[in-house]
Chain A
């Protein structure tokens, strides 16, 4: 993705070489900003652990903070071949996660757009699929809805369940269509997930605006 340029990023000494950052299409200003933030979160350490995220006050109110923090440590998102959870991430990994939220660029062609979109949806998929088995089962979906509604303590668990069930049935009918009475729909695979998101243009929705600042001002 050739539009990304940056000068020599001021990466902390001792971290892995940042050649892979060239593919992330963020500018040096953004990297600086993120690096400052990283240092703030990690309290000047080289890596961040899960506990460091507790220091963000606004994250308290977020009903899905568990999943968000988990996503940072999910090895599948960190583009590592292995599975499971990392214990700590360094700045490069932090940037990798952030790159999922970069905005769309004007000069992308069809194939790039498609890959762009799939990447973002894969990130989301990993957030829903907590047991890493490649499918979103009914239980996982229920879990998602429960978390979404977790800000309302007086609500019964059953309402979350019925919503999740209804949503799952709808997903099944979209993805598989007619099902006989004894067919069982195992779970939402990534292809089904793509189908479900067809109507929503995620490439424009899933971005954090500040990553767009000064994309015009590339350095060399």
Chain B
């Protein structure tokens, strides 16, 4: 038996819940609340749009921008006029109840109902996991048609009160479209840049970084709405513009905070919107006119289908990846209406629009129809038509390299051909961005970081976090399974490699630290053995130790892959003392060996603005920063081989360990004899902070 959630999309269920709640309230005798327009536009809509804009997948969006714009602008205009005109005809023929509705009122109605709603589209398309192209087409259209809706709505609302509409008014209306859309985008871009600039200086107040993102975006929205510009476009523009710079500046935690807050708010908003829709249906005054409602519904569908067909025929002339009829069907079918239409209808006042109730009824009917019928049936239809679904590809470093390579290659070919195609301009924009904009908006060293490096860092962080979260040892992330650096670069380290020279007291300090920690390790092992093992303690302990040694080796191999993962405890004083590498006096590597490079990479987390020197080679040596202390389990405090059998002091048995890192480690700990020192040294690694 399929579960309810696999048949009915969430939005439908929420509307039903709203209906029930509204019915309940009404049944009790109270007056149920209606979704007031200013609550909707000021509080409920912005989080959803900001979430969509901030996490907009930019590459497919820009690649299909032409198509999206044509659907959004021309498609919506066509819908509005077609519907308005036809409804006017229906009204004239529809008998006494409808005759008084003028052309302009009908056009206004058309403009309200014709816009595809981003909230509804998001709600339904999220669940069907359709391929990226179709998703971005319908979704992008729903976002960008806001400008058209705003212009048309205000235009017709004004005109409905005029005695006469002159040509001049129409031309001005046409021009105002450009003002509204471009103005909205401009406002968004300005606020986005300001937000990015602000985030450059927030390195000391990390906790309120997310607040800047939210505040500036909301201000962009409000500012645009204030001047009757398109608030949605402003919000999208702000999110898109600020994101790359803000993400380069803020800490990892702030990034997580922003992501989860946005998702949370948008989720809550969406839920509330649909519930309110249901309640408002019950609560509102309705005026049901069969002719009007049914013809609205019918013509809406016709208009959408015709519009998509004609536009696709036109667009396919210019597209490389043509839109197949299947795609066209999904685009047409995915044109859902939602709460924006309802709120716009609600905004109409009674004085000028006496038929407001009838409009609202019709709007709600269309919304219900699209959300329920189309929303529920789109999933089986997608399966039936075998539309391509979203591919769950993990972004890999290989793909990134290839994509960048291809970009540069195509730009080069375009230059050779002498043809200034869109690769050329994209490349120019990137160069401009790198040269001027990034310097202004990104703090410190990150401004010069090329995209490949940034991507690589992000991926490493993600993998390291995954590794740690999965217990560190149990699950091996599938991407980097058992392939280690040995498999691709089997250079064996020369055995007679000389250790870099340390000053005497540095050596002494290292020795002391290591020794005390080893001591503790062994003590813990012993106590573990004594108290918990009942059967043959030595046998068990022996097996345990073998196991742990193997795990340690595995872990080490994995850690070797992540050459640049910074330790998270760079601030603790013990760490800075133990961080020998950053002390230029102590550690002078030999220049001859190719295997002793110095990596000076800024860690991905901007919390340590000074660069951390990791002395590293293949594989990672011992004196660098230890791996992240989260996997600080018993016995794994140091990457050291446990004693082969308890009681012996023979910690460093060279026989079994063949990995060069172990050999290196062995030579590091030049003084194996653990004389129990009376003094307590500081722990080399802070335990379990």
Residue of B nearest to A100 (CB): B413
Q: For A158, give its contact among B321, B402, B599 (CB under 8 Å).
A: B599
**Is B268 in contact with chain A by the CB < 8 A criterion?**
no
Question: Considering the chains assembled together, what is the distance between the CA atoms of A169 and B485 in angstroms?
Answer: 7
| Contact status A184-B416, CB under 8 Å | no
**Is A190 in contact with chain B by the CB < 8 A criterion?**
no
| Contact status B408-A170, CB under 8 Å | no
Residue of A nearest to B482 (CB): A178
Residues of B within 8 A of A64 (CB): 405, 408-409, 412
**Is B645 in contact with chain A by the CB < 8 A criterion?**
no
| Contact status B485-A155, CB under 8 Å | no
| Contact status B417-A163, CB under 8 Å | no
Q: For A163, give its contact among B405, B431, B452, B488 (CB under 8 Å).
A: B452
Question: Considering the chains assembled together, what is the distance between the CA atoms of A212 and B519 in angstroms?
Answer: 73
Task: Name the distance in Å between A203's Cβ and chain B's nearest Cβ.
Answer: 9
Question: Considering the chains assembled together, what is the distance between the CA atoms of A156 and B564 in angstroms?
Answer: 13
**Is B448 in contact with chain A by the CB < 8 A criterion?**
yes
**Is A34 in contact with chain B by the CB < 8 A criterion?**
yes
| Contact status B411-A62, CB under 8 Å | yes
**Is B481 in contact with chain A by the CB < 8 A criterion?**
yes
**Is A23 in contact with chain B by the CB < 8 A criterion?**
no
Within 8 A of B (CB), among A152-178: 152, 154-159, 162-163, 165-174, 176-178
Q: For A53, give its contact among B416, B422, B431, B481 (CB under 8 Å).
A: B416
| Contact status A179-B404, CB under 8 Å | no
Residues of A within 8 A of B483 (CB): 169, 172-173, 176, 178-179, 185
Question: Among the listed stretches B22-30, B391-399, B671-679, which one makes contact with chain A, having 4 or more residues with CB under 8 Å of it?
Answer: B391-399
Q: Mark B461-494, 1 if CB is under 8 A from A, else 0.
A: 0000000000000000001111111111110000
| Contact status B418-A208, CB under 8 Å | no
**Is B664 in contact with chain A by the CB < 8 A criterion?**
no
Within 8 A of B (CB), among A114-161: 124, 127, 138, 144-145, 148-149, 151-152, 154-159
Residues of B within 8 A of A58 (CB): 415, 424
Within 8 A of A (CB), among B311-325: 317, 320-322
**Is A68 in contact with chain B by the CB < 8 A criterion?**
yes
| Contact status A170-B398, CB under 8 Å | yes
**Is A217 in contact with chain B by the CB < 8 A criterion?**
no
Residues of B within 8 A of A166 (CB): 397, 456, 460, 561
Residues of A within 8 A of B411 (CB): 62
**Is B444 in contact with chain A by the CB < 8 A criterion?**
no
| Contact status A179-B561, CB under 8 Å | no
Interface size on A, residues (CB 8 A): 71
| Contact status B599-A156, CB under 8 Å | yes
| Contact status A138-B488, CB under 8 Å | yes
Residues of A within 8 A of B399 (CB): 199-200
| Contact status B408-A148, CB under 8 Å | yes
Task: Name the distance in Å between B429's Cβ and chain A's nearest Cβ.
Answer: 13
Residues of B within 8 A of A63 (CB): 408
Q: For B396, give its contact among A104, A170, A172 (CB under 8 Å).
A: A170
| Contact status A148-B601, CB under 8 Å | no
**Is B244 in contact with chain A by the CB < 8 A criterion?**
no
| Contact status A167-B408, CB under 8 Å | no
**Is A194 in contact with chain B by the CB < 8 A criterion?**
no
**Is A61 in contact with chain B by the CB < 8 A criterion?**
yes
Question: Considering the chains assembled together, what is the distance between the CA atoms of A101 and B419 in angstroms?
Answer: 13
**Is A207 in contact with chain B by the CB < 8 A criterion?**
yes
Question: Considering the chains assembled together, what is the distance between the CA atoms of A206 and B409 in angstroms?
Answer: 9
**Is A79 in contact with chain B by the CB < 8 A criterion?**
no
**Is B410 in contact with chain A by the CB < 8 A criterion?**
yes
| Contact status B397-A163, CB under 8 Å | yes
| Contact status A148-B453, CB under 8 Å | no
Task: Name the distance in Å between B45's Cβ and chain A's nearest Cβ.
Answer: 35
**Is A183 in contact with chain B by the CB < 8 A criterion?**
yes
Within 8 A of A (CB), among B533-575: 561, 563-564
**Is B7 in contact with chain A by the CB < 8 A criterion?**
no
Task: Name the distance in Å between B434's Cβ and chain A's nearest Cβ.
Answer: 8
Residues of A within 8 A of B401 (CB): 144-145, 148, 163, 167
Q: For A165, give its contact among B414, B481, B485, B490 (CB under 8 Å).
A: B485
| Contact status B490-A200, CB under 8 Å | no
Question: Considering the chains assembled together, what is the distance between the CA atoms of A166 and B600 in angstroms?
Answer: 17
Task: Name the distance in Å between A149's Cβ and chain B's nearest Cβ.
Answer: 6
Question: Considering the chains assembled together, what is the distance between the CA atoms of A152 and B601 in angstroms?
Answer: 13
Residues of B within 8 A of A37 (CB): 416-418
| Contact status B450-A152, CB under 8 Å | yes
Residues of A within 8 A of B450 (CB): 149, 151-152, 155
Question: Considering the chains assembled together, what is the distance between the CA atoms of A212 and B321 in angstroms?
Answer: 12
**Among the interface residues A37, A138, A168, which one has the most CB atoms of the partner chain B within 10 A?**
A168
Which residues of A pack against B, CB within 8 Å?
33-34, 37, 40-41, 53, 56, 58-59, 61-65, 68, 98, 101, 103-104, 106, 124, 127, 138, 144-145, 148-149, 151-152, 154-159, 162-163, 165-174, 176-185, 196-197, 199-200, 202, 204-210, 212, 216
Q: A63-B408, A167-B397, A173-B483 are in contact. List 13 more A-B contacts (CB 8 A).
A: A56-B415, A58-B415, A62-B411, A64-B405, A68-B409, A144-B405, A159-B599, A166-B561, A169-B484, A172-B487, A206-B406, A208-B417, A209-B421
Please name 10 pairs of A and B residues whose Cβ atoms are closer than 8 Å in the assembled complex, sorted by A: A40-B418, A62-B411, A62-B427, A68-B416, A101-B410, A152-B450, A179-B483, A185-B488, A200-B399, A216-B317
Which residues of B pack against A, CB within 8 Å?
317, 320-322, 391, 393, 396-399, 401-406, 408-419, 421-424, 427, 431, 448, 450, 452-453, 456, 460, 479-490, 561, 563-564, 597-601, 618
